[in-house]
């Protein structure tokens, strides 16, 4: 099994600094950073998008861009549990095959995305996509 360690440092100015093993930092706390709960859907679409791009490139699709949003539904009361995340993929390219996009998303969900695999039994995750011709 792979073992990974991430770090968090809190400083006196009330900033929470998250850091990975490559020393990349994310500031957590508004107004100068990301809210803690936004990190969950961001992790999900980051993981899934990486897979989708890799798969579409291997399928020789003329991919020029990818824009992804995640709409989340959380409980109104603490601990504000996530109930649903809907992912929308906007695939930008030339002559993109919709069946290949659908297959890439399903492969990410079913085989490759560790974040999706971790969340799928705890949260309802749905998706859709659109294809936009262009650069």
Q: Check residue 81 and give its pLDDT.
A: 96
37: which DSSP letter? Answer: G
Q: Residue 11: its pLDDT value, please?
A: 81
Q: Parse the chain into domains and list their residue ranges.
A: 1-34, 36-133
Contact 38/85 with Cβ under 8 angstroms? no
**For residue range 60-114, what is the model confidence (pLDDT) as tens digits?**
999 999 999 999 999 999 999 999 999 999 999 999 999 999 999 999 999 999 9
pTM listed for this prediction: 0.91
Helix, strand, coil share (%) of the chain residues, nearest 5: 35, 35, 30
> Looking at domain 36-133, which of 3.40.30.10, 3.30.300.20, 3.40.640.10, 3.30.70.2660 is its CATH number?
3.30.300.20
């Amino acid at each position: 099994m792979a073992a990974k360690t991430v770090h968090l440092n809190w400083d006196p100015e009330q900033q929470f600094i998250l850091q990975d093993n490559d020393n990349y930092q994310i500031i957590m706390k508004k107004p100068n950073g990301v809210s803690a709960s936004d990190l969950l859907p961001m992790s999900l679409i980051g993981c899934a998008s990486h897979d989708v791009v890799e798969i579409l490139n291997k399928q020789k699709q003329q991919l020029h861009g990818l824009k992804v949003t995640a709409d989340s539904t959380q409980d109104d009361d603490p601990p504000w549990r996530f109930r649903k995340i809907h992912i929308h993929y906007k695939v930008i390219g030339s002559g993109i095959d919709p069946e290949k996009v659908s297959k890439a998303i399903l492969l990410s969900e079913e085989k490759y995305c560790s974040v999706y695999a971790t969340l799928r039994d705890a949260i309802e995750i749905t998706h859709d996509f659109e294809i936009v011709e262009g650069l």
